[in-house]
Amino acid sequence: MSIHFKPIGNTSFDEGSGVTISHPRILLDAPLDGVASLEYQYTFRRGGQRVGAMGFFGTEVAAELEGQRGLIYTLDLRPAEVLMDMLKFKRFLDDTSDDFDFVRFLAQGLVNVFAGKTTNPESRRYLVVASAEDLARVGAPAPAGYLELPDGSIILAELFVPAHVA
C-alpha cells in the first residue's frame, strides 16, 4: 500500500492509512541574507490520535509569479535526520512503496495542507526540497535522470496556490 495524501480544507488526508497531516505550526526564525527563515512543525494523526510529527526549516522569498507579486515557500528536508524520520514513519505505516517514492508522496502531503488557502492576496508556490546526497545516504536515492538542481537539491513536491482577491 502506498500513501496518497489529498488536500481537505487546511489538512492533507490519506484514505488508505487513515492519516491526516494537520496544517503546520509555522515559526519565524531569524532572517538570513534578507530571506525569511521559517520553522515548520507538522503533526500526523489517525483517528484523532497523534501518530507522528516532524519539524524542519524553510524559507520565504518574494518573487514574481505569473506576472504578479507572489511568494515562494521552500520546505527544506535537510539534514538527513529529517529523511530518516520520514522513513521511520513509513515503517510505522507498513507502507510498501519504494523509499524514494514514499518520501516524495509524504512531501506532497506536506504541501497539500496549503491547497485550500483562500485568503492569500498574492500567489504562492510551495516547494519541498531535499539534498540528493542525503537521499542517497538514507537509502532513498533519486531515480536516474531525476532533475538535480545546481546546489545538489531535488524538488520532491510542489504546489501552486493562486491569489484570492476579495
- What is the residue type of 48? G
Q: What tens-digit pLDDT sequence spans the chain (166 residues)?
A: 789 999 999 999 999 999 999 999 999 876 667 677 999 999 999 999 999 999 999 999 988 877 788 999 999 999 999 999 999 999 999 999 999 999 999 999 999 999 998 888 999 999 999 999 999 999 999 998 888 899 999 999 999 999 887 6
Per DSSP, the residues of 69-89 read EEEEEEEE--SHHHHHHHHHH
CA–CA distance from 71 to each of 27, 63, 106, 139 (Å)? Answer: 17, 6, 22, 33
pTM for this model (two decimals): 0.93
